[in-house]
């Protein structure tokens, strides 16, 4: 199947992208076709709430989302959300991508995309991923996404910390089995 990996960190070789690389390694071994998209480095502007799209039409903003990413999302079978935790939440760049679902929410909902979540945080506490995970689950419920797995990498504050964590293997294994 086609898998779209949405990376969102400013650190190209940072911890969240390390998990993405492991996921991709596993998914390629299982024969999937991967498209990587760096949300952080794309020109994707926030939804302005004008409602001109009526939740089912072109967005008035002719940026990378409208020109490229929307088409990639429609064409893919699975979306992988890759992110560092920022103040207990999704980083703004990736949340912006979700907000821009607005112009095709009904269409996207009926597509029943498969999804996964790969996230890292410095802290290794019970609560550090609470909002990140709750939001992901709510999004899956609302958008009728089919969750294929989550990696919540606590104690992954630097590439060195992440490299020796068990989360590298977890990400690889989700890629292998999807
Ligand atoms: C703006 C900002 C906010 C952050 N907020 C949190 C946080 O709430 N909890 C936490 O444990 N780590 C937090 N961190 C640390 C990052 O999540 C962590 O260093 C992560 O490994 C960075 O991933 P990356 O290498 O993919 O960018 C924050 C880092 C930044 C830059």
Write out the residue range of the structural domain in which residue 45 sits: 2-177
Q: Any idea what the CATH number is for the domain that residue 158 is in?
A: 3.40.50.360
How far is the CA of 66 from the CAs of 42, 45, 49, 76, 125, in angstroms? 11, 10, 15, 16, 38
pTM of the model: 0.98
Instruction: Spell out the per-residue pLDDT of the chain, length 178, in tens.
Output: 999 999 999 999 999 999 999 999 999 999 999 999 999 999 999 999 999 999 999 999 999 999 999 999 999 999 999 999 999 999 999 999 999 999 999 999 999 999 999 999 999 999 999 999 999 999 999 999 999 999 999 999 999 999 999 999 999 999 999 9
Q: Measuring from atom 28 of ligand 1, which residue has the nearest CA?
A: 86
CA atoms within 13 Å, Cβ hemisphere of 26: 16
Q: What residues are in contact with ligand 1 under a 6 Å CB criterion?
A: 9, 11, 14-17, 84-88, 120-123, 128, 156-157
Domain count, the chain: 1
């Amino acid at each position: 199947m086609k898998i779209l990996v949405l990376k969102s960190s400013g650190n190209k070789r940072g911890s969240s992208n390390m998990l993405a690389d492991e996921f991709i390694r596993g998914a390629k071994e299982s024969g999937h076709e991967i498209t990587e998209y760096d949300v952080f480095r794309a020109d994707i502007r926030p939804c302005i709430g004008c409602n001109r799209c009526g939740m089912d039409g072109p967005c008035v903003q002719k940026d990378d989302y409208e020109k490229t990413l929307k088409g990639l999302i429609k064409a893919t079978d699975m979306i992988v959300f890759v992110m560092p935790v920022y103040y207990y939440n999704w980083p703004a760049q990736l949340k912006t991508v979700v907000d821009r679902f607005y112009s095709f929410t009904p269409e996207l909902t009926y597509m029943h995309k498969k999804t996964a979540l790969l996230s890292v945080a410095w802290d290794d506490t019970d609560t550090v991923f609470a909002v990140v995970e709750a939001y992901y689950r709510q999004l899956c419920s609302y958008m009728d996404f089919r969750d294929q797995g989550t990696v919540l990498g606590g104690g992954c504050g630097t590439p060195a910390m992440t490299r020796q964590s068990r989360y590298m293997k977890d990400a690889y294994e989700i890629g292998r089995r999807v």
